[in-house]
Amino acid sequence: MNDGNSWFAGCLHGSPGRAYTTISASINAGNLSFCNPGSVSLLSNTGSGYAYQWRMNGVPISGETTSAFVAQTSGWYSVLLDSSGCSASDSVMVNAIIVADPTPISNYSCGAGTVTISATGGGTLNWYDGINGSLMGSGASFNTQYLSASTTFYVQADSGGCQSAFIPVTASILEMTADPVASDVSRCGEGTVTLTATDTATIHWYNAAVGGTLLQTGPSYTTPVLNTTTIYYVEAGTNCVSARIPVSAIVNIVAPPVTTDGSRCGTGTVVLDATSADTVGWYDEAAGGNFLGTTYTLTTPVISVTDTFYAEAKNGCTSVRIPAVATITPVSADPIVTSSFSCGTGDVTLTASSVDTLNWYDDISGGNLLGTGTSLTLTGISSTTIVYVQAGTICPSALVADTAYIYSIPIVNLGNDIIISSPQTADLDAGPGFASYAWSTGETTQVITVNLTNTYSVTVTDMNGCTATDDIMVTVYVGITQALSYNLNIYPNPVHELLTIGMPSSMAGEQKLLKVSDVTGRIVISESISQSGLYTLDVTSLAKGVYILSLETPAEKRVVQVIVN
């Protein structure tokens, strides 16, 4: 048993020293490659007592235990033979050639005509008029004959003599979409416009007749804000679209009027103007407000302060409102004048006050401009004169009269100088009718009484405020008791250098004594004179003042007052 020479290959009826019986397996088949769908018959060798088991890719095929098997798909097929415990197997590779169905691409024509249809796929693409019908052409695309109705064609892929299924491809004949119905829409002034269109198909809005930008899909389109008329285009349909129909968004812009402002001085109406090719309406507000009338020239209501009114042009639409300003400039207040006067011919300065510029005129209607400013000086006038002053230049005040009065200078006369002897008194009378009196003594009455040697003066003021002054020399002699004659002619008096004395005829041929005394009685000149006629006395040695000159003879004495200046 352990002798190796006693063992033989085999599996049936073996014994030491005798060889065993063996089996073998083989598969007989036709063309192992076929077009799918299809099949190939696989036949195993046979023998008495053989058992069969077919396998695909090493996996037993359920129920396939005969010597024959029909393979329909690609794969490794094998048969396992078994006989009396001995087994054998054989295998073959089956290739089922599958041609993928092409992908159809249908197409259409808008209205009757030819249609180009196409497909994608491997191999050669053949086109037929039906399943297993007539071959119409080959290639990735196919141009049909003239069609008046939609037609179905079929495409089949051919690769290595195998074919795909017949795939339908439709060449559609579509009707043209009817043009949409749309109307122009208008508006007044800038703003948006809503356009609408109707159609049984989907509606598309564009900004150009060809190409352009798709703006909106749907039956309506609202434009952006427009300030000028703009054309848009609408078409209907998706495949066989209609013609593009123009639709206008009409913007009616009315040119605004040109307004002219108006003005006046003080409360009242103001005239405003507007020019336009269209009708013009007036309002008191920039929007809304009260309608004031349709006119090119508006007379405003009575106003007391500056106000703004508004004009708009109308021609079915209205323009924007344009303001027109009615300016009220206050009238300058009448100036406050102060009259003045001159006593006698002279210069008179008149004054006036105002916050505005002052102009002076010589006439109530204006006349000649005499000056500008708060005062006016009239020079050298000799009669009362009326002038007129006006405040302001834009809206001046009324002309206000101002008077430069020329009053007569009052006359006061105290009379000739007086010589009295103490204890006599003298009444000095300035005269009646004056408003006031001012004496050098401080007294304020019309008449004053004096008893001292002095020069007395008085200033009188009349009702107009004019003044006049006069003075008088009163000489009071002390110790002179004899009667005095005052009939003595002298000149000039007052005297400065030489005094001429006329000798009285009654003293002719007489020796005469001439004496000059001051107010205290002191004799300052004493001369003896024999001549008659005129006598000249030099007084240059005397101080200014009042002196008493006496000329006497044994028979008479004459005295006169002399003023040395």
For the domain made up of 5-97, give the CATH fold: Immunoglobulin-like (2.60.40)
Residue 486 clears pLDDT 60, i.e. is over it: no
Say whether domain 103-174 belongs to CATH 2.60.40.10: yes
**Could you report the per-residue pLDDT of 541-552, keeping only the tens digit for each?**
999 888 889 999
Distance CA 386, CA 399 (A): 12
3-class secondary structure, 287: coil
Phi, psi of 557 (to 5 degrees): -140, 135
Residue 9 clears pLDDT 80, i.e. is over it: no
The model's confidence at residue 10, banded by pLDDT at 50, 70 and 90, is low
CB 167 within 8 A of CB 155: yes
DSSP-assigned beta bridge partners for residue 143: 116
% of the chain residues with pLDDT over 90: 79
pLDDT at 421: 72
The structure tokens listed for 237 are: 């349909």
The model's confidence at residue 13, banded by pLDDT at 50, 70 and 90, is very low
CATH number of 489-564: 2.60.40.3080
pLDDT at 422: 77
What is the torsion angle, in degrees rounded to the nearest 10, for the CA atoms of residue 317, residue 320, residue 321 and residue 324? -120
Count of residues in the chain: 565
CB 52 within 8 A of CB 81: yes
Q: What angle do CA 86, 89, 95 make, to 5 degrees?
A: 165
Overall CATH class of domain 181-252: mainly beta
Residue 489 clears pLDDT 80, i.e. is over it: yes
Instruction: Give the mean pLDDT of 323-346.
Output: 96
Distance CA 390, CA 396 (A): 7
Distance CA 348, CA 368 (A): 18
The structure tokens listed for 199 are: 């159609």
**Could you report the per-residue pLDDT of 285-317, keeping only the tens digit for each?**
999 999 999 999 999 999 999 999 999 999 989
CA-wise closest residue to 92 among 155, 137, 44: 44
**DSSP states along 5-46:** GG--S-SBS-BTTBPPB-----EEES-SEEESS--EEEEE--
Say whether domain 258-329 belongs to CATH 2.60.40.10: yes
3-class secondary structure, 172: strand
Residue 4 backbone class (left: φ over 0; alpha: ψ -120 to 50; beta: rest): alpha
Rg (CA), the chain: 76
Residue 119 Cα distances to 98, 115, 128, 170, angstroms: 18, 13, 13, 11
pLDDT at 519: 75
Instruction: Give the mean pLDDT of 245-257.
Output: 95
**Could you report the per-residue pLDDT of 524-536, keeping only the tens digit for each?**
999 999 988 999 9
Distance CA 447, CA 86 (A): 194
**How is the chain split into domains, by residue range?**
5-97, 103-174, 181-252, 258-329, 336-407, 418-477, 489-564
Q: Which residues of 379-418 are buried (b: 16+ CB within 10 A; e: fewer)?
A: eeeeeeeebbbbbbeebbbebbebebbbeeebebebeebb
Residue 480 clears pLDDT 80, i.e. is over it: no
The model's confidence at residue 484, banded by pLDDT at 50, 70 and 90, is very low
The model's confidence at residue 21, banded by pLDDT at 50, 70 and 90, is low
The structure tokens listed for 361 are: 């005129």
Phi, psi of 394 (to 5 degrees): -75, -55
**CA torsion through residues 488, 491, 496, 498, sign:** negative
CA-wise closest residue to 427 among 411, 439, 435, 436: 439
Instruction: Give the mean pLDDT of 211-232.
Output: 96
Distance CA 233, CA 258 (A): 37
The structure tokens listed for 347 are: 């210069």
**DSSP states along 328-357:** EEPPPPPPEEE-EEEESSEEEEEEEE-SS-
Residue 485 clears pLDDT 50, i.e. is over it: no
For the domain made up of 336-407, give the CATH fold: Immunoglobulin-like (2.60.40)
DSSP-assigned beta bridge partners for residue 400: 389
Distance CA 463, CA 467 (A): 10
Identity of the amino acid at 73: T
CB 426 within 8 A of CB 418: yes
Residue with tokens 């058992």: 51
pLDDT at 488: 86
